Amino acid sequence: MFPEELRRVLNDLRGFRHLFRHGYDFELNGRRLAMLVRDWNESSGKVLSSLAGFAAQLRENELRG
């Protein structure tokens, strides 16, 4: 569903989400957080485009039934 180039960024974001939701006593690493924000800002358009393409494929498959 996602191009190979986006998998690292998405995996890093997923890891941060997991840590944030389940890490009850931790401090955010400002440098690491800045890198995640930068990566998201650079990749968000491609991620959203990939999701839209996937949704279009699902709709097309549904119409073919």
Inter-axis angle of helices 4-22 and 30-64, to 10 degrees?
120
Please, what is the Cα angle at 40 between 37 and 44, to 5 degrees?
150
12-21 pLDDT tens trace: 999 888 877 7
Q: Which residue has the higher pLDDT, 59 or 2?
A: 59
Q: Which two tokens stand for residue 30?
A: 């400002």
CA 40/CA 36 separation, integer angstroms? 6
30-58 pLDDT tens trace: 998 999 999 999 999 999 999 999 999 99
Which residue type sits at 23? G
When pLDDT is cut at 50, 70 and 90, the band that residue 23 belongs to is confident
